[in-house]
Amino acid sequence: MNDTGNNSVALVVIGEEAQGQRLDNYLLRHCKGVPKSHVYRILRSGEVRVNSRRVDATYRLEIGDRVRIPPIRIAERPQDEVEEAAKARVDLPIIFEDEAMLVIDKPEGIAVHGGSGVSFGVIEALRRQRPQAKFLELAHRLDRETSGILLVGKKRLALTALHDMFREHGAGADKRYLMLVKGRWMNNTQHVKAPLLKYLTDSGERRVSVNAEGKAAHTVFRLLARWPEMSLLEAQLKTGRTHQIRVHLAHLGFPILGDEKYGDFNLNKRLRPAGLKRMALHAWRMAFRHPLLGTPVECVAPLPDGIRQYMTTVEAQTPREFSADNLQQILEHQ
């Protein structure tokens, strides 16, 4: 698809990696740098053809389809800028990999994909580092500030199965997160069912709030450790709403330490000098069925050093009030 940006017509034969994908989504991925509106304009005008005939944007591609793509001028970024962006994100620890998928322990501070002011993300870095890979697509998302387990599909059928799994709202995948929160959390286990509504701030930034008009959201929190002014929790997602854990905790009055969107901003200013230089939220464990084989898969991403070291600092200053029976087992996962 390297010819897309030339001044000539490109004729692409569809392989297994694009089988079943909608035509518009295929073009949006492969015509990087082209405005979305322009892609849909050439679709509506009939300039894009499949097997020499006009088709709708929702057409599902099949192996062997011949897609005609008209000349498109793409505003490309300088090559050295692309390479530097990739080099800055080479440290992507692989937890699990086979022919169908791979699982990454995503570092905090890196977006999962480019967009919204971020030119390069995990998926772009992976594609850059693996130029021979025919197919690499995100199976789900993590916030830029969140570290931990991230699934990537290497085959179209695997990606579709993973998407279906995540749509089952907890029935298909057991997703667990670890977080440090402000305050003394008292309940050993607490189910939080509070609907969440997306909205935009005056500056155009996406936010979420608890609102009766929002979508149903369910999180199960478990207490792992407690200090006089801080608690370590595990969260199990039963639904997968945007910013779900962060908003549920802020709503309850236990914001995640270092959360710049929903946290205690005055407290956050004091955390950096004290040693916590990130949001203390980490996707630590995921158990699910393999998307193609159906066999059980369990992936664990150890608690990052930045969070672990801050806990050690607090522990040295104030005594721990509570420890769950499985605390050491979780912390010793490496």
DSSP 198-216: EEE-TTS-EEEEE-TTSB-
Torsion of CA 24, 26, 32, 34, to 10 degrees: -20
- Element (DSSP H or E) covering residue 164: helix 156-166
236-254 tens-digit pLDDT: 999 989 999 999 999 999 9
84 has a pLDDT exceeding 60: no
Give pLDDT tens digits for 135-157: 999 999 999 999 999 999 999 99
Q: Is 91 a catalytic residue?
A: no
Phi, psi of 118 (to 5 degrees): -105, 120
Task: Give the model's pLDDT for residue 203.
Answer: 74
From 65, 105, 143, 259, active-site residue: 143
Integer angstrom CA distances of residue 251 from 158, 169, 245, 266, 287:
36, 21, 10, 17, 28
Query: In the predicted model, what is the mean pLDDT of residues 190-214?
Result: 92
For residue 292, pLDDT over 50 is answered with yes
Rounded CA separation 288/296 (Å): 6
Q: What is the mean pLDDT of residues 4-24?
A: 77
Residue 2 in this model has a pLDDT that exceeds 50: no
DSSP symbols for 278-296: S--EEEEEEEEE-TTT--E
pLDDT tens string 159-186: 999 998 887 655 678 999 999 999 999 9
What pLDDT shows up at residue 83? 52
Confidence class for position 319, pLDDT limits 50, 70, 90: very high
60-64, 69-73, 269-273: least confidently modelled range: 69-73
pLDDT at residue 72 in the model: 76
